[in-house]
Chain A
């Protein structure tokens, strides 16, 4: 039997910026399918699994990596540098996961400034003992020379505020099955939407795909935190007074959290046509509250303890305001 001419394997890189590691684990969670990925692609860079140095990547020819999955936000000078290097070296750069897509959980730091954070971490926490008020510095001279560590920025950025991004795969972390779909599309070149699109997700809202019972009644007179009420396990959470991000969230995860009797927190980001999940949520909640009386409305809204943190849990840096005003 004659040997089929083998197609050159794709070169794949996976990198983390300001990340928790969950996105890298979601790649491993493809289980035996990971072997298909490895069969179709050579992993040329993946810090969680391989010992390849930054300078090896810097020395790769431009556009020599076919696909880079970049997870994590951009929070410091190291993240930014690698975002720029990987942009230059990659044909397709994907913002993988909520952090790279919208800033994600680390993006909650945009409710504070770098000074607030350092003060809390290096002076105020209950477990800090730092009478000299020693703060980290980015450059230290020692006998052998100067040691440098990355500079932490005042802000957390989604990847596309630093470099151009070809595709976005939402989720915290993305559902592993959706990665396989996107990966096959990239390998075969079939079914890939135009650059700039969100892939590995659907084009509706979670409410559209949710199986819970909904009525058109606007009936909320008090909001509850999930632990404050007994969920009946079949009525829409918002109608029971528990805030669920379903109306402001892109579908594609299978409405997993609600399926598990937990309200959606919005990790898939805003649905098509909406740029800002919080704005969308405020619009939706405005129609759900059952009162026309200003004082009563105030009291009802008082029961939403932290609207900003709740509506932008995964998306503050990528939202319209982007951060708390300083």
Chain B
């Protein structure tokens, strides 16, 4: 079995994305499993994005924003934190292990931390195995529609 996890990472433009960029330009080695989506601010993340990513087959989802107090839009990361906490509770009710959804703060200078975070998360997902949302929704009899 050759499971290669897909991790979708939503990174805010001002800190986290710059941090990830730094990881790249510093030629840090990190697991090639993340698909990065740049957003202006972590506060811009709608719960819909997360649910859709799971539905489309993401095995894990990573959200990164600026450290508390550093958000370019003042409060966006706090809003994100509150939504995240609620989402975390919701996804576990839905039978999705909550380790598949992670929120971390990454500053523009934390390339190394970003690389480590990705490696860590990849390891966690490898242990959990493939996400089951997509498979669950493959309803046999619907094909005869």
Contact = CB atoms under 8 A, between A and B. Distances in A.
Given A276-B48, A322-B137, A325-B136, A282 B95 contact: no
A182 B54 CA distance: 37
B137 A282 contact: no
A279 B46 contact: yes
A307 B55 contact: no
B83 A321 contact: no
B93 A283 contact: no
Contact of A80 (B54, B55, B141): B141
B68 to A, nearest CB: 7
Interface in B47-69: 47-48, 51-52, 54-55, 68
Nearest to B132: A325
Contact of A279 (B48, B68, B89): B48
A162 B144 CA distance: 9
B52 A301 contact: no
A169 B80 CA distance: 34
Given A279-B48, A320-B48, A324-B94, A286 B86 contact: yes
A166 B94 CA distance: 31
B136 A282 contact: no
A155 interface: yes
Contacts of B78: 292
A282 B86 contact: yes
A41 B136 CA distance: 43
Given A278-B47, A308-B90, A283 B83 contact: yes
Nearest to B54: A321
Interface string B63-77: 000001000000100
Interface string A283-307: 1011101011010011001001011
A60 interface: no
Nearest to B93: A308
Given A155-B139, A307-B89, A326-B136, A294 B81 contact: yes
Candidate in A163, A298, A320 with the most chain B CB atoms within 10 angstroms: A320
Contacts of A278: 47, 90
Nearest to B53: A320
Interface in B80-123: 80-83, 85-87, 89-90, 93-96
A290 to B, nearest CB: 10
B133 interface: yes
A289 B82 contact: yes
B1 interface: no
Contacts of B81: 292, 294, 297
Interface string B118-142: 0000000000000011001101011
Nearest to A324: B95
B4 interface: no
A278 B79 CA distance: 17
A297 B85 contact: yes
Given A292-B68, A321-B94, A325-B96, A307 B86 contact: yes
A75 interface: no
B55 to A, nearest CB: 6
Nearest to B134: A325
A289 B78 CA distance: 10
8 contacts: A80-B141, A275-B48, A279-B48, A279-B51, A291-B82, A297-B81, A298-B85, A322-B137
Listed from nearest, the 4 A-B pairs whose CB atoms lie closest are A286-B83, A325-B95, A279-B47, A308-B93
Given A280-B47, A286-B80, A306-B93, 15 more contacts: A80-B141, A163-B145, A275-B48, A279-B51, A282-B87, A286-B79, A286-B86, A292-B78, A294-B85, A304-B89, A319-B51, A321-B51, A324-B93, A324-B95, A325-B94
